[in-house]
Amino acid sequence: MNYEKVLTQRTCYEGLFNTHFSMVNLDLSVPVQMLKNGTAPFKKLTRCNMGNPCGVGQKEITVVRQLIAACLSPEIRESDLIPEDVKARANVILSGCPGGNSGSYCATEGIEPIRVGVAEYITKRDGYKCDHNSIILTNGATEAILSILRPIIRSKYDAILIPRPGFPMYNAAISYYGGAEVSYDLDEDNNWGFSLAALESALDECKVRGLVPRCIVLTNPSNPTGTVQTYQDIQNIIEFAYKNSMMVIADQVYQHNIYEVESYPFISCRKVMLDLNKQGKCQGLELVSINSVSKSCYGECGRRGGYWQYENLDQKVVSQLLDIVSLGATKV
């Protein structure tokens, strides 16, 4: 009797081979080999297919490395090698770790003092109080996106509305989870802004394909166009989502990377929604906001850090989702 393999392209989970993220997983074997044997018409290969500042020569931010070192090593923390303010911050972080040790298992949601700091930042940014218990720390924004997409997508009939052009990770994740992606086109003639007509067109496509529209992804600032969406754009998409009973994922990982802040101010989706709530509008809309420190704050993309913050999610769903998250490593 011959052994039949369990994992083949024919017999494994079909979502595996429906998933493609080619912008990262490029086949560089040919140019690398050309460099090795001296036949390449160039002397160096620089990978610019993805945002990777440290990989192309950006120097790290000193205080970040000092803080990491202080949290990892008591000897360094107690020495004169690092400034006193860094030591103080390290002690605050370690106060949220069992045993005062960063090597311990920590809360699934992430270390509490860090979440408190994030909540204070969001409160200051939006002008509305943010509860740190609504914040889940993650290993980068990608993990946050994957965590929240998983419970949204129940079957191949569940649709996620995503911007086009947009970040291809969403296409890959939706395909892997077995859902349906439906694109809404950004308006090139309007500086790649949102168009209600495009959203309506995406909704019509869902109806034609027999899909259930579950969620709209709002990327602000936009990736890859760099457009900073206006208050009215954000309000339009929130009201559209509410009208059609869809939740909103606000991907805001580039909110600190705006070069002309006076001309193009960043306004969070959370602020706009809470402004509308004060007017008695869109109350109860489910919103998940995502941010990253790996990219927007420090540019150390291989040193993962991010979070998702939620409004109006069913607490039973959040609790169960945290149970699933806890199957893996806890979050710093």
What does pLDDT average to in each consecutive run of 10 residues of the chain (332 residues)?
Answer: 89 85 73 87 80 80 92 94 95 95 91 97 98 95 93 97 94 95 95 93 98 98 93 96 98 92 95 99 98 83 90 96 78 57
Q: What's the distance, CA 171 to chain centroid?
A: 14
Give the pLDDT score at 44. Answer: 84
Give the pLDDT score at 18. Answer: 83
Give the pLDDT score at 24. Answer: 65
Instruction: Just give the CATH number of 62-100.
Output: 1.10.287.1970
Domain boundaries, the chain: 62-100, 112-325
Give the pLDDT score at 312. Answer: 98
Residues 224 and 213: beta-carbon distance below 8 Å: no
Please give the radius of gyration of the chain, using alpha carbons only, rounded to the nearest integer.
22
Secondary-structure breakdown of the chain: helix, strand, coil percentages, each rounded to the nearest 5: 40, 15, 45
Q: How far apart, in whole angstroms, are the C-alpha atoms of residue 202 and residue 200?
A: 5
Give the pLDDT score at 332. Answer: 56
CA atoms 137, 140, 141, 147: torsion sign = negative
Residues 106 and 330: beta-carbon distance below 8 Å: yes
DSSP category for residue 228: P
CA atoms 164, 144, 124, 121: torsion sign = negative
> Which regions of 229-330 does DSSP assign to beta strands (E)?
247-251, 287-292, 306-311
The continuous run of DSSP H or E covering 324 comes out as helix 315-325
Q: How far apart, in whole angstroms, are the C-alpha atoms of residue 169 and residue 140?
A: 13
Taking CA atoms, 137 is separated from 69, 229, 263, in Å, by 20, 25, 31
Lookup: tokens for 271 = 């602020």
From the list 301, 297, 295, 221, the residue with the least C-alpha distance to 258 is: 221
Give the pLDDT score at 51. Answer: 76
Instruction: Just give the CATH number of 112-325.
Output: 3.40.640.10
Residues 248 and 270: beta-carbon distance below 8 Å: no
Residues 266 and 221: beta-carbon distance below 8 Å: yes
Taking CA atoms, 293 is separated from 49, 109, 131, 142, in Å, by 20, 16, 20, 12
Residues 236 and 196: beta-carbon distance below 8 Å: yes
